[in-house]
Amino acid sequence: MSTIIKILRSLVKGKRPTGRSEGEVWVNEADKQFGFIDSTGAAQDLLAVRRFSATSDYAIGDIVMQAGKLYRATKAVTAGAFTAADWDALPANDKYLPLTGGTLTGALGIGTTALTGYNLNINRKLAGAAKAVSIRNVYVVGADVITSAISYVSQPTTEAAAYTLDSAVAYLADGVVVGAGSAVTNQRGLHVNNFTGAANNYAVSTNVPVGTNNNWNFYAQGTAPNYMAGPLGIGTTVVAGCNLRLTRQLTGSTTVASVQSAATVSGDVSVSAYGFSSLINTDAAVFTLPEIYHFAARGGAVGAGSTVATQYGFFAGQGLSGADSNIGFLANIKEKGTQDWNFYAKSAAPNAYAGKSSFGAVTVPTETIDATGNIAATGSMLSSGNADGVGYKTGAGGTTTQATSRTTGVTLNAVCGSIVLAPAAGLATYQTFTVRNVVVADTDVVHVSQKSGTDKYIVMVTRVAAGAFDVTFATTGGTTTEQPEFNFAIMRAVAA
């Protein structure tokens, strides 16, 4: 007994049988499609992938076999000869992922077939919107994810073989290639935007431990400048009121520095080079700031059990000696009022100067204190030197000689000096001569003494006026004809 199966047949593209019984099969030769009538009486297509037919229409996304290769329609295709521009060729392998997900064991190219050296290579043109994204990851974190949600993980592993990998880079951003005629205003290797929704928000977080392998949490080896609009904390997250705050423990060497400037000055720097520069401005607003400190040294806490032998608020070491002129501390404040000071030590702690010091002029001092100008003191000026004492140094004095007689006046405008008397025999009777001296004031005290001579003289100052003083003298009885010499010195005094 033989059974004959009748199949409904159509030569019209797109036509499907209607009004037929469940289970009947049909074929459309124009569409190269085969199907059946379902329980609802509707015709159902059975072939998901058909051979291309020039007599059939195709919708976007339809897959066909043409010349041994698979193609996907990129547009609505009407009946006609095969046109490659209307189709995307599918990879020539048998590994495809279902739309619901799966495992891809081979490399993946999007917009490219160049896969050597890549697991994923995207080389597809970005178009279709003013703001385009090559890879976008937008997802909802499920309620069962309670430890961490990570959008991207890079964890390369080297193969178990004897070789050296020169560089392993978890993320690489190369500079954009600007096509002819186009321009790029800004490009960013990493951009974090509006990152504020969590309790703690870290735009960039690293956790590289210190070690012996040249480890760095942040390493910017390019020579371009670096910019930070917000404050920076090193060793601390408490940065309120600071632009830069350092609290990190100092360790790793017997001599340490919290901040070190060891720059090399290039040849194009021809005016000045500063290791540290402070320039503080006040805001354009009505307010009063009591004080500005450009540099403040405050004593830290000495931990229990530790001892600090000496601490220095500012230190200029012996190595500061390589220039033609070397100045440990330079102040060049312009005096515009009564409260302008180049150096102001307001505490009662003592001050020590081991070297010679010059005051009143920028000259190399020859004495421990070398002053040009007046010195004022509200307390005593004392000397414990048993060989030097207090007095005048070379340059303060002068000398003069009487012209005709021992009562002839002389002129000597100096705070100290010597007067050579005219040649005459000594007299036990007092004689007086005037010393004209513009230096002397009427409140000053003038001391006079005999410097040389055979006879012994009683000599004294008997009058002091503004611009002159009188010297009165007599021998103790000698009558030698000679030119004795008297010394004098003016001591400043006031009547108020």
pTM for the model: 0.66
**Per-residue pLDDT, 99:** 61
- What is the mean predicted confidence (pLDDT) over 16-22? 89
Q: What is the pLDDT of residues 136-157, one digit of tens each?
A: 999 999 999 999 999 999 999 9
Ordered by where they begin, the domains of the chain are 8-89 (no CATH), 397-491 (2.60.40)
* Helical (H) or strand (E) element with 487: strand 485-491
Q: What is the pLDDT of residues 376-395, one digit of tens each?
A: 888 888 888 888 788 888 89
Contact between 454 and 424 under an 8 Å Cβ cutoff? The reply is no
Please state, in angstroms and rounded to a whole number, the distance separating the CA atoms of residues 433 and 430. 10
Q: What is the pLDDT of residues 222-262, one digit of tens each?
A: 999 999 999 999 999 999 999 999 999 998 899 999 999 99
Cα–chain center distance at 433: 75
Residues 6+ apart with CB under 8 A from 246: 233, 234, 235, 236, 258, 259
Please state, in angstroms and rounded to a whole number, the distance separating the CA atoms of residues 475 and 397. 26
Closest CA to 123 of 138, 104, 139, 107: 107
| Chain mean pLDDT for the chain | 91
Residues 6+ apart with CB under 8 A from 302: 308
Cα–chain center distance at 47: 70
Q: What is the pLDDT of residues 312-361, one digit of tens each?
A: 999 999 999 999 999 999 998 988 888 899 889 999 999 998 889 988 88
β-pair partners for 459: 473
Q: What is the pLDDT of residues 88-101, one digit of tens each?
A: 888 655 455 556 66
Closest CA to 235 of 218, 215, 250: 250
**Per-residue pLDDT, 266:** 95
Contact between 8 and 24 under an 8 Å Cβ cutoff? The reply is yes
* The pair of three-digit structure tokens given for residue 208, joined into one six-digit string: 């590289």
Amino acid occupying residue 431: Q
Cα–chain center distance at 80: 70
**Percent share of the chain, pLDDT over 90:** 66
Of the chain, the end-to-end C-alpha distance in Å amounts to: 155
Q: pLDDT grade, residue 369 (50/70/90)?
A: confident
More confident: 30 or 141: 141
Q: pLDDT grade, residue 210 (50/70/90)?
A: confident
**Per-residue pLDDT, 445:** 97
